[in-house]
Structure 1
Amino acid sequence: MTAALNGLKILDFSTLLPGPFATLYLADMGADVVHVESPARPDLIRLLPPYAHGQATAHSYLNRNKQSIALDLKNPQSIALIRQKISEFDIVVEQFRPGVMQRLGLDYATLAEINPRLIYCSITGYGQTGSYSDKAGHDINYMALSGIAGHSGRQVSGPPPLGIQVADVAGGSLHAVIAILAAVIERQVSGLGQSIDIAMTDCVVPMNTMAAAAVLAGGQPQYAEQAHLNGGTFYDYYETEDSHYLSIGSLEPQFMSGLAAALELPLLLEKGASLHAEDRKAVKQAIREKIKTRSLTAWQQIFAGLDVCVEPVLQLDEALYSTLAKERQWVVDVPLAVRAENDAETMEPQLACPIKFSRSEMQYGHTGQQLGAGTW
C-alpha cells in the first residue's frame, strides 16, 4: 500500500493552526511538506503548553511528518534560495496578511513566472480583497461575523465560547485542503497552477447550511433556541442526577417513540413534534426533570440496548480512550522526532488522520521536528 498523495511537494509558510492543520492532513496522506519558519520568530505553537518529550504537544502533532526549515525571510539570500528551489514544489501554503508575500517577492505572480504549475494557497481571516482584508482576527471573530454565533447558545446567556476552533479548522484548514486537491486535479488537464484565496470567515459562513437557507429563501431570521437543532426543541443536552450530561437527538418518529417509552413520558409523543413554543418548552422541561432523577451510569444502562439517538457527553480524555476510539483508531503512536534527555520513550500518542482508504495508507513518520532540523 502507498500513501495517496505520494509525489506532491508542498512549501508551507503558515503558522499556528489553520495552515499547519491543512498541511498536516496532506502530509498524513503522503505529501512531502517542508515547513519554513523564522529562526528569530518561530511558530508560536512551539511555545504553547503543555509539553512532552521536550516539545509543545500541539507542535509535535500539527507538524507531524513535516521537515522544519529555518529561514529569515527578511534576508535576500533566503528569498533567492526559495526562488531557486520553487520549481521543485507543487504547492505553496501561506498565511500572512495580504501584501506581505508580495513585499517579500514571494507572491503568486512572481513565483508562477518561475514555476507555472505552482498551486498557491493563501489562508487569511477575511480574504485577499475587501475592506476587512487587512484586519486582524481570531476564530471567535470569524464565528461572530459569520452569523453562526448569533443563533448558537442560550437566549439568557448568549453564544458560547466553543472548545474547538471551528472557523480556523473547518473554515480555513479543510477548505484549503479541498481547494488544493481540486487545483491539483485541474492542473492535470490544463498543465497550469493557480492561486487560491481562502478566507476563514467566507468558508465558515456556508456551515450555517439550513439556517442560511431559511433566512435567504424563507425570509426567516434565526435566533438561539429557536430552531430544531439549536435548542428550540428537545434536541439538546440534559443534566443527570450526578451532574453529568446526556445528549438527546431523538427527532425522527421512531426514535421519539422509543425515547418516550424509555422515559415513560407520553407527553413526548403528544407534543414532541409540535411547532408551538409553549409545547416545546413543556416537553423539554418534562425531559429535564426526568433525566435529573438518575445518574449517568443508570441512564446508560437503560439506553444501552435502545436505538434512539441518546449518548453520554464525554470529557475529551474519556472520548479518546473509549471503545469507539479504539474500534475506529482515533489515536495512533507516532515515532518521536525529538527526545528529551534521559527519555526512554520512542513514541507519542497523537490523533490519527480520520480518512480511511481501501488501498492507500496514511503515513506517520515522525512527530514535529526541532526548528531547522529538517532537510529539503
Structure 2
Amino acid sequence: MNDALAGLVVLDFSQVGAGPTCGMLLGDLGADVIKVEAPGGDIGRKLGPPWQNGESVVSMSFNRNKRSIAIDLKHPAGPKLARRLAAAADVVLESFRPGVMDRLGIGYAALREIHPRLVFCSVSAYGQTGPWRDKPGVDGIVQAVSGLMSNIGEEDSPPMKVQVPAADMTTGFLAFGAVLAALRVRDLTGQGQHLDVSLYNSALMLQQSALASYLASGEKPVRSGSAAPYSAPNEAYPTRDGWIMIAAYHEDRWKALCEVLGDPPLATDPRFATNPQRVANRKALTAELSTRLAAHGTLEWQERFETADIICAPIAGYDMVMDSPQLAHNGVLVETRNVDAGVVRMPGAAFGDRDAQSRVRRGPPAIGEHSREILGQFGVAAGDIDALLATGVVQQRKDKQ
C-alpha cells in the first residue's frame, strides 16, 4: 500500500493535530502532501515541551511525508497564489474557522467553479453549519462538551480528559476515511465534494457504546476508572508489585480465573455467578480479587493466566511498551529526519502486516523548506518566484534559497 495514492496532490492548510493527521496518513500512502502554512508556521509548531533542537516534537509527530510552503494569506497576493495551487490539486484540507477560506476566496464554492473534481475537506470544532458553527474549540474543550470527560476517572474523582488528544486523532482518522471515500466517488462520477468533519461529531462517534447504552436506558454512566461498565471482571487490579488488566467476564474464563486464584467456589458465589451480577456487585468483586491478587507479582500472574487462556496484560508504561517484542516485530515505530531537529522517532502508519507498513519518504518539514521547489512544480516561473519571495508573499528557508 506504500504507493496507493501516488500521483495525488494534497494541499494541507490545516493546523495542530486533527487535519494534519489526515494529511500525514494520505502522505503515508504515497500522496504528495504540501503543507501550506503562514510564514510564522502552523500554530502547532509552538506546542511543547518536549522540544528537539528548538522544534516541537508534538508538531513533528503529525507532519511526516509532507513538504512545506510558507504563504502569507493576509497579503493580497497570497490567496491568489493559493488558488493557483488548489486549481492543480486533488485534495484540499483546511481547519480554519468556518467561513475563513470563503472570505479569502479559496473556499469550496469558489474553487469548485474552476475545479469541479476537487475534494475539499474542512475540519472544524463543531462543523460548517449549526448553532455552534462559529464557536472556537480544541481537543480538551470538545472532550468536555461531548460528554467524554464525564466518563473518565473514578466515581468520586473530578472530571478528567483522555491525556492523548483523542478527539483530534479520531477526527484525523475519520477525515482520512472520508477523503478516501470521496476520491472513490470522484473516480465513479467525475465530481468532487465538500467534506464537513468535526471534532464534536468525531468525539460522539468515539463514544458509540456509551451513548447507545444511555439512549436505551436513560441512565447517565457512572465513572468507573479502568472498569468496563457492561462487564466484570474487566478492569485493572493491583498485584503485589504493580497492576494487571484482566478481562475474564465470559463464563468459562470467569471460572478459569477462580481456579487459577485457588478459589473455585468464588465462581458460583450468588453475587458473582453471572456477568450482570458481577457488574451489580463490582465493588465486592474488586475487593475479593484484589485480596487474592496481592499474593503474587504482575508477571507471575500474567504467566499463570495466559496458561489458562485468561485475557490479561500488565499496565505498561511507555518504557515497557518500547521493550515489547510485539512492537519490535510489527515495525510500528519509524525514524524521520527534520532539517533542524535531526532524527525524530514516532509511530508510523500501521495499516496491516509488516509488508503493508508505509514508508517514510520525508521527515517533518521546516517552515517553508520547499517553497521554491513547490512553486516550480506548479509552473511558477523563476522570476515570479523571486518576486514572491522578495515581497514576502512566500517565505523560503534561507539555506534553501
What TM-score do the two structures reach when normalised by structure 2? 0.84
Deviations 1:208-231 (A, max 9, x none): 223322332444443323997238
**SS of match in other structure, 2:319:** helix
Structure 1 CA distance, aligned partners of 2:73 and 2:294? 59
Q: Which runs of 5+ in 2 are unaligned?
A: 375-401
Given the superposition, is the C-alpha separation of residues 256 and 45 from structure 1 closer, same or farther in structure 2, using an over 3 Å criterion?
Answer: farther
Residue 115 of structure 1, CA deviation: 0.9
- Look up the match of 1:343: none
1:155 is paired with a residue whose SS is coil
> What is the aligned counterpart of 1:263 among 247, 261, 271?
261
Read off the aligned partner of 2:201 and give its amino acid letter: D
What's the counterpart of residue 389 of structure 2? Answer: none
CA distance in 1, matches of 2:356, 2:291: 50
SS at match of 1:122: strand
Q: Kindly indicate whether the alpha-carbon contact (under 8 Å) linking 2:10 and 2:92 is maintained by their aligned counterparts in 1.
A: yes
- Distance between the aligned counterparts of 2:281 and 2:254, measured in 1? 15
1:27 and 1:311, CA in 2 relative to 1: closer, same or farther beyond 3 A?
same
Q: Which residue of 2 aligns with 1:281?
A: 283
Determine the structure 1 residue equivalent to 2:381: none
Q: Distance in 2 between matches of 1:339 and 1:38?
A: 18
Q: Secondary structure at the match of 2:228?
A: coil
Give the one of 356, 359, 362 matched to 2:358: 362
CA contact (8 A) 2:335 2:344 kept: yes
Assess, with a 3 A threshold, how the Cα gap between structure 1 residues 339 and 85 changes in structure 2: closer, same or farther.
Answer: closer
Contact 1:320/1:331 (CA < 8 Å) preserved in 2? no
Per-residue CA shift, 1:100-133, capped at 9, x if unaligned?
1111111110111111111111111111112212
Partner letter of residue 210 of structure 1? S
Distance 1:227 1:338, change over 3 A: closer
Aligned-residue offset at 1:361: 5.5
Shift in Å at residue 187 of structure 1? 0.6
Instruction: Report the residue type matching 1:296 in the other structure.
Output: T
Q: Deviations for 1:114-166, whole angstroms, at most 9, x for unmatched residues?
A: 11111111111111112212112222222222223333322111433322111
Report the counterpart of residue 292 of structure 1 in structure 2: 294
Report which stretch shifted further, 181-190 or 230-239.
Answer: 230-239
What residue in structure 2 maps to residue 201 of structure 1?
200
Partner of 1:60: 60
Distance 2:152 2:231 in 1: 11
Quick one: structure 1 residues 289 and 25, their matched pair in 2 at CA, closer, same or farther if it must change by over 3 Å? Answer: same
Deviation of the 1:40 alpha carbon? 3.1
Q: Is the 8 A contact 1:256 1:268 kept in 2?
A: yes
Larger relative contact order (Cα-Cα within 8 Å, sequence gap ≥ 6): 1
Note if contact 1:19-1:95 (Cα within 8 Å) is conserved in structure 2: yes
Aligned to 1:148: 148
Name the CA distance, whole Å, in 2 between partners of 1:210 and 1:272: 24
Is residue 53–residue 338 contact of structure 1 (8 Å, CA) maintained in 2? no
Q: Which secondary structure state, in structure 1, belongs to the residue aligned with residue 223 of structure 2?
A: coil
Deviation at 1:373, TM superposition (A): 0.5
Q: Matches of residues 221-232 of structure 1 in structure 2 within 5 Å?
A: 221-225=220-224, 229-230=228-229
Structure 2 match to 1:325: 327
Offset at 1:181?
A: 0.7
Displacement of 1:54 after TM fit?
5.3
Q: Determine the C-alpha separation between the residues in 2 that align with 1:367 and 1:78.
A: 26
Is the alpha carbon distance of 1:361 and 1:156 closer, same or farther for their aligned partners in structure 2, counting shifts above 3 Å?
closer
Counterpart contact for 1:267–1:283, Cα < 8 Å: no
Q: What amino acid is aligned across from residue 267 of structure 1 in structure 2?
A: L
Q: Assess, with a 3 A threshold, how the Cα gap between structure 1 residues 84 and 318 changes in structure 2: closer, same or farther.
A: same
Q: Distance in 2 between matches of 1:46 and 1:292?
A: 45
2:339 matched residue in structure 1:
338
Query: Equivalent pairs: percent with the same residue?
Result: 31
Q: What whole-Å deviation, never above 9, does each CA across 1:160-181 have from its counterpart, x for those lacking one?
A: 33221111111x1111011111
Correspondence for 1:163: 163
Moved more, 325-334 or 41-50: 41-50
Contact 1:49–1:56 (Cα < 8 Å) also in 2: yes
Cα distance change of structure 1 residues 59 and 139 upon mapping to structure 2, 3 Å threshold: closer
CA distance in 1, matches of 2:353, 2:111: 34
Gaps spanning 5+ residues in structure 1: where?
341-345
Q: Residue 215 of structure 1 contacts residue 221 of structure 1 at CA under 8 Å; is this kept in 2?
A: yes
C-alpha displacement at 1:88, in angstroms?
1.5
> Residue 30 of structure 1 aligns with which residue?
30
User: Mapping of 1:207-218 within 5 angstroms?
Assistant: 207-218=206-217
Matched, 1:129 2:129: yes
1:39-188 alignment to 2 at 5 Å?
39-40=39-40, 42-52=42-52, 55-170=55-170, 172-188=171-187
Distance 1:348 1:150 in 2: 35
1:62-98: CA deviation from partner (whole Å, max 9, x where unpaired): 1111001111110121111111222210111111111
Question: Residue 83 of structure 2 aligns to a residue in which SS?
Answer: helix
**Partner-residue secondary structure (3-state), 1:67:** strand
Counterpart CA distance in 1 for 2:19 and 2:228 is: 30
